């Protein structure tokens, strides 16, 4: 006995449905070796262009200024105290921008 047409189409669709991801996956499997090989080059070029001395990290990487614990502690203490009581500023007023009071 023959199956009706709508059921035949449904069976065909059910049989081909599992193959759909395989067929579509073949399209997505293409790689771009040229793009992947140069990925991030533009960012590295822009960052290198912003440096004054590009070899500074390798040239000065191991340089540590000679300090001892006492001088570092005193510097930290002076910095903390400068926020608690900031030094007075020496501002000289010349009278520019204000009213002189005279006519």
Under the banding of pLDDT at 50, 70 and 90, the label for residue 73 is very high
* CA dist., res. 72 & res. 80, Å (int): 12
Structure tokens at 93: 């007023």
| Residue in the structure block whose two tokens are 């500074």 | 56
Share of the chain above pLDDT 90, in %: 11
Q: How far apart are CA 48 and CA 43, in angstroms?
A: 9
In the predicted structure, residue 82 carries a pLDDT above the cut 80: yes
How far is Cα 72 from Cα 79, in angstroms, rounded to an integer?
11
pLDDT of 100 reads: 57
| Residue 23 Cα distances to 18, 60, 72, 101, angstroms | 10, 56, 67, 89
């Amino acid at each position: 006995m023959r199956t009706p047409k709508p059921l035949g189409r449904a069976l065909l669709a059910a049989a081909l449905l599992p193959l759909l991801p395989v067929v579509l996956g073949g399209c997505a499997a293409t790689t771009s070796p040229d793009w992947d090989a140069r990925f991030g080059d533009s960012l590295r070029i822009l960052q290198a262009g912003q440096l004054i001395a590009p070899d500074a990290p390798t040239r000065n990487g191991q340089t540590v200024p000679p300090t001892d614990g006492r001088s570092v502690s005193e510097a930290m203490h002076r910095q903390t105290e400068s926020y608690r009581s900031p030094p007075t500023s020496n501002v000289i007023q010349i009278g520019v921008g204000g009213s002189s009071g005279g006519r």
